[in-house]
Structures are given as C-alpha cells and as structure tokens.
Structure 1
Amino acid sequence: MKVPLNTQKIIRERMLASIDIDQVQYLVDDYSKLSELLSQTLDELFNNNDYKLTTQDQKK
C-alpha cells in the first residue's frame, strides 16, 4: 500500500514535533557524563603505577 506524499509529510512533522527537547538534553547530559567517566577510568588505568609493562612483558 502506497502512502500519499502529503500524508508522509504530516507523519514526519508529527514525529519530529513529538521529540521532547528535555529528553534530548537528558541524553546529551548522560552521554557527556559517561564520556567523562570513561575518560577518567582510562586515565586511571593507563597512569596506574602499580603495574607497568616492561619490554619483557610485551614480548611474551
């Protein structure tokens, strides 16, 4: 069944209008918090002085 072009346009506009800007902001905030947490975790992992790879470890 083919949907008329003007109906597709109306559906698309309603879908876009139903996107809540607050929901988008929550997603952006969550993403930036996760990104920052991941960055800190990676920094801690790679800057950890308890374990350093030596050349012998790398060759194994």
Structure 2
Amino acid sequence: MVDDWGREFRCAARIRIWSDAELIGARAIIGVRNVERRGGEVRIRPHAGATGSGPRR
C-alpha cells in the first residue's frame, strides 16, 4: 500500500499507475529517510524530489 499524502493506492496495478504519473513521469528521485517495523508491517518513510518538468497536477 502506498499512502501519498492521504491518497491510498492498494493494489499493484493502481500503484503502477500512480508511479508512472507521479514518479517516473515527474522524473522523481526517492531516498529512504527511515524504516521501522510494526508487528507484521514494514514502514518506509521516503524523501522525494523531482529532477525534471514532468506532469504536475
């Protein structure tokens, strides 16, 4: 599951559509800020930025 500022994407197909538009299309760079394990979940807090002038909303 991806939570992008309250917008949740839960299946692989929807995550791919989000990624294509928001990351690849925007030529984003993502780094890992921190990782934590809570029970059966692993949460990754990213740091992101864009390098190009891809599609914006």
Greater relative contact order structure (CA < 8 Å, 6+ sep): 2
Instruction: Say which one has the larger Rg.
Output: 1
Q: TM-score, normalised by structure 2?
A: 0.28
Higher normalized strand content (fraction of residues) = 2
Higher normalized helix content (fraction of residues) = 1
